[in-house]
Amino acid sequence: MEPGEAASFILREYSKCMSCGFCEAACPTLPFGPHRGYGPRGRVRLASLAVENGSISAEGVAGIYTCLLCAACMLRCPAGVDIVGVVRLARELLARGAIRAPERIPLRLVG
């Protein structure tokens, strides 16, 4: 998918989100993150902000890359947001350099 198409998809999916939070109960990684950016709703928001701003923080990158892509959140989403699709495309845009990210991402160990 071209970067412009990917960005449009991410923004369209974000616009569907009702911020109900039903997806968060199913997310296996949210309890291990320091904030909501490590949950489905936060990841969709981080991706939309990255597309709008053209850049993302190291913490935002961590939020995007800690998603397991298991789609448990999508089963709970009443709005039908393609959360996994958003995360995959955000990763693709980061890999292509369409979204600027810090060169070094600090590693956070849990446990």
pTM, full prediction: 0.90
pLDDT value for 95: 92
In single-letter form, the type of residue at position 83 comes to I
Q: For residues 99 and 4, give the distance between their C-alpha atoms in angstroms, rounded to a whole number.
A: 11
pLDDT above 80: residue 6: yes
Residue 55, helix vs strand vs coil: strand
Sketch the domain layout of the chain as residue ranges: 3-96
pLDDT value for 109: 56
List, for residues 7-53, the tens digit of each pLDDT value.
999 999 999 999 999 999 999 999 888 888 899 999 999 999 999 99
Domain 3-96: which CATH number of 2.40.160.20, 3.40.50.300, 1.10.1060.10, 3.30.70.2740: 1.10.1060.10
- Of 12, 27, 93, the closest CA to residue 56 belongs to 93
